[in-house]
Amino acid sequence: MHDNREVRGTASSSVEFDDKGWPAWPEREDLSAEFIKLLAAAQEGGSSVSECWLTLSKIDLASENSWSGEWIKTAELNEARAEHASLGGNMITARRNWLRATTYFHAAARPPGYSNDLLKRAVDGMRRCAINFLKSRVPAGQVLSIPWTDELSLQAYYLPSAFRDDGPVIVCIGEPGSYKEELITKYASHANERGFSLLAVDLLGTQTALPPQWLDGHKFEAAMSRVLDFLSEKPGVDDTRIAIVADACNSSLVARAAATDARFAAAVCDAGIWDLHERSFFHRQAGDDTQICWIDEANAISRGIECPVLVTAGEAGWLLPGALTKFGDQLSHIHRDARLILFRRAETGAMQGHIDNPTLANEVIFDWLEDRLRIRKGLS
């Protein structure tokens, strides 16, 4: 249900508001979700609310390239401000503008249907600004290439802790189809303030897309073991305190990695619930009524995770709250340190992936990691 409010811009870019007050294009749910993420990024310094609305007013959804083109313009404006501030020695302002530019370039690279030229321009700009942001940090971040297969290396950003050497590292994973640059905005401040180093990794490498055969779960699990091998040999890392965080809660890839490599000290993931959900769907399609109660039996993924595990989900997400609660109860019975936290609509953070309030979810997640990795406040 939609009310009568709308943002006036070009005729085909008028946006309605849903009954919760969020902007929405009924015919473009992907863009609606992306714009909500852009607004929420302002809480972490990844965007400006005014710039988001101004850019939105210029977008014409009847034009195939308008969405990407307008966000690229806004990103390049922020990048120009960053470069001007950097030349004047104003590195805090430069860093803030490079971070916002990274977010806007990322938005330009997200939806399908744009030209290859625009996609390349968006991805190149996003990576350029992210690297400049890393270089401007204190201590400076690093661009890493971690060997994976003969044909592909994992591309990663490493943001060392400002507080200590030989400390914990949080490995954040961009799921297939996402970019590691977004992880910087979402997680860097939460990690840094708690004395964590952060390793942001995606599966895209230097490419803008991967063929389906690269998304096989076993290859991904091997990739995460390579990440652990790499970090274990890296100076300044306590290899007994490496945790993994999945950026998306609708995939079991990180859960599979945690289940197959016991070296992780903690994991924030779906604990295999989406694997169960997908298997249930296929059984239903095949008419196998004996497997409809998919939540009643723990799967190998959740049983295989030995480290402490946290699952977060939203009441307004894709899975029914009742099923999530039942899975959480089951998980706590089979695992010595496992918890499912369900964010309710009344507190926000309740949408799929917590896109309506990622800050709230990340505070819960990183407090849990802080407790499990035994980091206390008062670091100097």
38 and 186 share one domain: no
Domain with residue 179: its CATH number is: 3.40.50.1820
The model's pTM is 0.86
320 and 268 share one domain: yes
Confidence check: pLDDT of 157 > 80: yes
Looking only at the bridges linking them, the beta strands covering 237-246 and 197-202 are unpaired
Residue 269, class by beta-carbon neighbours within 10 Å (0-12 exposed, 13-18 middle, 19+ buried)? buried
Cis peptide before 139 (omega within 30 of 0): yes
142 forms bridges with which residues in the sheet? 158
Residue with tokens 């936290």: 341
Q: How many domains does the chain have?
A: 2
CA distance 336 to 186: 29
126 and 212 share one domain: no
156 forms bridges with which residues in the sheet? 144, 201
Contact 51, 100 (CB under 8 A): yes
Q: Which is higher by pLDDT, 199 or 110?
A: 199
Contact 161, 167 (CB under 8 A): yes
127 and 145 share one domain: no
Number of neighbouring beta carbons within 10 Å of residue 190: 22
Last residue of a domain, one of 94, 109, 136: 136
Q: Which of 378, 365, 303 is nearest to 333 (CA)?
A: 303
**pLDDT for res 130:** 97
26 and 71 share one domain: yes
157 and 265 share one domain: yes
Mean residue pLDDT of the chain comes to 83
169 and 126 share one domain: no
pLDDT in tens, 269-325: 988 887 776 665 555 555 555 544 445 455 778 888 999 999 998 888 877 788 888
**pLDDT for res 312:** 92
Task: Give how far Cα 150 sits from Cα of 146, 147, 153, Å.
Answer: 12, 8, 8
CA distance 100 to 102: 5
Last residue of a domain, one of 136, 152, 186: 136
165 and 231 share one domain: yes
pLDDT in tens, 94-125: 999 999 999 999 999 976 555 678 989 999 99
20 and 169 share one domain: no
164 and 65 share one domain: no
CA distance 45 to 110: 20
Range of the domain at 211: 139-380
Confidence check: pLDDT of 135 > 90: yes
One-letter amino acid of 163? F
pLDDT in tens, 313-324: 888 887 778 888
pLDDT in tens, 358-377: 999 999 999 999 999 975 44
Domain with residue 29: its CATH number is: 1.20.1440.110
Last residue of a domain, one of 121, 136, 151: 136
89 and 209 share one domain: no
Could you tell me the pLDDT band of residue 335, with boundaries at 50, 70 and 90? confident
